[in-house]
């Protein structure tokens, strides 16, 4: 397509929609203009029609165009000073001496530095390796600043990897108290541990749970941070694949998970905390389904919480109404961030205060809902292979089981069991319990039954009866008499074993 022509047409259509009554063609409807504009946006920026329309509805025509343009430009590289090891001024001086051009990220942050140019890789400087800073998007400062953890508190980061927010919280707490840094991904948790060690964080415990389990596993936190998994519509500049790989199903599945995670976060907080009782919910998405609707759901399901000010000095107010939907007026306390407005990734931050314990009926209702969801999930995910199992043959790659090999393994296991009971396994090899003789016991125990082998004898001769096992008064005794004539024994070792067994059998009645 002719990109220059597309761009001109997009700009002109946007201008008409901004002042529709004055500039529009009377023969064309507004819907016609919007349809034409959506086609041009999809062709020019590479969005799917579904996502382009969804994002378009969030803004005025002029602002929507600015949003699409901003997603074509990467956000500035930002580093966060680790105040556990250094000060921002000292760090800036050191990096400037290494040929790095930088400046403070803004008045709203005391630890951020925006990098414009660098002569050295920022992920390999001595300062980086010493843990003086971490590469971290400016937008991810915001939820930690809203959480505002205090010294000596118990804090939970429900989705902590790769550790930028966790280590920032540790710095604000000055390595006091305790932070539980949780991540459901074991692989991502390894990167989290690496950053914790490098930055000198000492008050953090890394754990690997499903965040939904925390109210049952561990609760009583002063503050909980939930940076929920999301569609990533706020970070399209980093991941261009979001433009085409998000479908309507994603915006049904993700909000459901986010709602359950937020309820779990609320239930994990101690409402009686003297200094805390706060929950911060954040996403790197700009859609209403993942933000305001999730927060409204939590307010409906948990009447023991309310929205409070985030304490952030900039950001646009959250929606209190959208596309005919009405939200609680307190949602104006939440904050929205856009790349075209603040030059940070698209982000959303909401802060709750827990006022009392969660009502029992709310927990019960939630448990029933979770149970239904789990049943449905099991039904959806269960895959049954109806293919009949073919019988194994000698020609198969897997040759089946070897009876002789199995017999050797069984014999070794039996010998080991006999040794534990203080019985000589070599002696029992020369004995055999008659098949027609039942073992008498009040409560038979398989572990107490001993299988014995008879010594091979020539045809026409009987194998000797060496021992019988019986249980009297709960005590297991070996009773028997050596009967018959010993057959030929091939080795002296076997003869000695048989003699030893016979002596034990004769001695047992006396012991009784």
Quick one: pLDDT band at residue 488, thresholds 50, 70, 90? Answer: very low
- Consult the annotation and say whether 324 binds a ligand: no
Query: In the structure encoding, which two tokens stand for residue 355, read together?
Result: 């006022």
- Same domain flag for 230 and 363: yes
Residue 391 within any structural domain of the chain: no
**124 labeled binding residue:** no
Higher pLDDT, residue 13 or 444: 13
Structure tokens at 52: 């382009």
Q: Which two tokens stand for residue 503?
A: 């002596």
**Does the structure show a pLDDT above 90 at 377?**
no
Last residue in a domain, options 378, 409, 431: 378
**Residues 155, 19: one domain?**
no
Active-site residue, selected from the candidate residues 42, 207, 230, 284: 284
Nearest to 486 by CA among 451, 452, 453, 458: 458
pLDDT in tens, 71-97: 999 999 999 999 999 999 999 999 999
* pLDDT classification of 367: cutoffs 50, 70, 90: low
Give the helix/strand (H/E) hosting 477.
Answer: strand 475-479
Segment of 53-67, 436-450, 473-487 carrying the highest mean pLDDT: 53-67
pTM of the model: 0.72
* pLDDT confidence band for 470 (50 / 70 / 90): very low
At 463, the pLDDT band (50, 70, 90 cuts) reads: very low
Residues 6+ apart with CB under 8 A from 170: 84, 179, 196, 199, 201, 202, 203, 204
Is residue 160 part of an annotated ligand binding site? yes
Name the average pLDDT for the chain: 83
CATH of residue 157's domain is 3.40.50.150
**How do 321-322 and 468-472 pair as beta strands?**
unpaired
Q: Is residue 225 part of a domain?
A: yes
Q: Are 338 and 286 in contact (CB under 8 A)?
A: yes
3-state secondary structure of 467: coil
Q: Are residues 224 and 361 in the same domain?
A: yes
Q: 179 and 315 share a domain?
A: yes
Are residues 37 and 176 part of one domain?
A: no
Residues 354 and 440 in one domain: no
Domain membership flag for residue 127: no
User: What's the pLDDT at 233?
Assistant: 98
Sign of the CA dihedral running 409, 413, 416, 422: negative
Q: Are 433 and 317 in the same domain?
A: no
The residue among 289, 287, 285, 279 whose CA lies nearest residue 259 is: 289
- Which range marks the domain in which residue 477 is found? 423-511
Residue 180 is assigned to a structural domain of this protein: yes
| Whether residue 365 is found in the same domain as residue 436 | no
Residue 327 lies in a domain: yes
Q: Is 64 annotated as ligand-binding?
A: no
Give domain status of residue 268, yes or no: yes
206 lies in the same domain as 336: yes
* pLDDT tens track for 324-341: 999 999 999 999 999 999
User: Are 439 and 340 within one domain?
Assistant: no
- pLDDT reported for residue 506: 53
When divided into structural domains, the chain yields a total of 3
User: Which 3 state secondary structure label does DSSP give 398?
Assistant: coil
Residue 181 lies in a domain: yes
Residue of 410 and 478 predicted with greater confidence: 410
The whole-number pLDDT of residue 496 equals: 66
Within this chain, do residues 12 and 149 fall inside the same structural domain, yes or no? no
- 370 assigned ligand-binding residue: no
Q: If 0-12 CB within 10 Å is exposed, 13-18 middle and 19+ buried, where does residue 261 land?
A: buried
Active site residue 42: no
Q: How many residues does the chain have?
A: 512
pLDDT value, residue 360: 74
Asked whether residue 427 is marked as a ligand-binding residue, the answer is: no
Residues 325 and 465 in one domain: no
Distance CA 428, CA 381 (A): 53
Query: How high is the pLDDT of residue 2?
Result: 87
pLDDT tens-digit readout, 116-126: 999 999 999 99
Q: Give the domain-ending residue among 313, 346, 378.
A: 378
Residue 93 resides in a domain: no
| Residue 164 assigned to a binding site | yes
What was the pLDDT predicted at 471? 41
pLDDT, tens digit, for every residue of 416-454? Answer: 778 777 788 777 655 544 444 443 334 434 333 333 333
Check residue 106 and give left, alpha or beta (phi > 0: left; psi -120 to 50: alpha): left
Tokens of 211: 């965040």
Angstrom distance (rounded) from CA 439 to CA 470 = 6
Judge whether residue 204 has pLDDT over 90: yes
341 is an annotated ligand-binding site residue: no
Of 70, 105, 122, the position where a domain reaches its end is 70
162 annotated ligand-binding residue: yes
pLDDT at 345 over 80: yes
pLDDT of res. 365: 64
């Amino acid at each position: 397509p002719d990109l220059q022509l597309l761009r001109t047409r997009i700009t002109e259509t946007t201008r008409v929609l901004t002042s529709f009554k004055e500039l529009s063609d009377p023969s064309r409807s507004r819907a016609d203009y919007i349809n034409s504009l959506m086609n041009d946006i999809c062709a020019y920026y590479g969005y799917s029609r579904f996502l382009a329309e969804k994002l378009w509805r969030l803004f005025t025509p002029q602002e929507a165009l600015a949003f699409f343009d901003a997603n074509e430009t990467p956000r500035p590289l930002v580093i966060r000073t680790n105040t556990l090891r250094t000060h921002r001024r000292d760090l800036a001086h050191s990096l400037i001496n290494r040929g790095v051009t930088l400046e403070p990220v803004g008045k709203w942050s005391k630890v951020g530095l925006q990098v414009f140019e660098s002569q050295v890789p920022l992920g390999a400087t001595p300062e980086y390796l010493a843990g003086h800073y971490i590469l971290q998007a400016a937008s991810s400062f915001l939820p930690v600043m809203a959480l505002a953890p205090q010294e000596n508190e118990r804090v939970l980061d429900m989705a902590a990897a790769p550790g930028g927010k966790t280590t920032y919280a540790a710095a604000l707490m000055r390595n006091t108290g305790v932070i539980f840094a949780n991540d459901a991904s074991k692989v991502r948790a390894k990167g989290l541990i690496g950053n914790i060690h490098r930055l000198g964080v000492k008050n953090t415990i890394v754990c690997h749970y499903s965040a939904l389990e925390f109210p049952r596993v561990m609760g009583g936190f002063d503050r909980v941070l939930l940076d929920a998994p999301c569609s990533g519509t706020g970070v399209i500049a980093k991941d261009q694949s979001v433009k085409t790989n998000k479908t309507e199903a994603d915006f049904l599945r993700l909000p459901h998970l986010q709602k359950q995670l937020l309820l779990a976060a609320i239930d994990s907080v101690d409402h009686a905390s003297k200094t805390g009782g706060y929950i911060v919910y954040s996403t790197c998405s700009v859609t209403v389904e993942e933000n305001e609707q999730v927060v409204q759901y939590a307010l409906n399901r948990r009447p023991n919480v309310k929205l409070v000010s985030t304490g952030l000095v900039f950001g646009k107010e959250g929606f209190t109404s959208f596309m005919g939907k009405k939200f609680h007026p307190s949602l104006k306390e939440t904050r929205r961030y856009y790349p075209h407005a603040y030059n940070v990734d698209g982000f959303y931050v909401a802060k709750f205060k827990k006022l009392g314990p969660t009502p029992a009926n709310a927990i019960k209702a939630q448990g029933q809902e979770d149970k239904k969801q789990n049943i449905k999930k099991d039904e959806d995910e269960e895959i049954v292979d109806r293919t009949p199992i073919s019988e194994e043959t000698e020609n198969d790659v897997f040759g089946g089981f070897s009876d002789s090999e199995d017999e050797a393994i069984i014999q070794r296991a039996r010998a080991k069991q006999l040794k534990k009971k203080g019985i000589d396994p070599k002696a029992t090899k020369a004995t055999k319990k008659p098949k027609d003789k039942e073992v008498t016991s009040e409560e038979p125990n398989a572990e107490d039954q001993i299988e014995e082998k008879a010594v091979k004898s020539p045809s026409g001769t009987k194998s000797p009866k060496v021992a019988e096992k019986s249980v009297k008064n709960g005590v297991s005794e070996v009773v028997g008499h050596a009967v018959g004539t010993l057959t030929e024994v091939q080795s002296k070792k076997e003869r000695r074993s048989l003699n030893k067994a016979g002596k034990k059998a004769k001695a047992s009645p006396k012991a009784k």
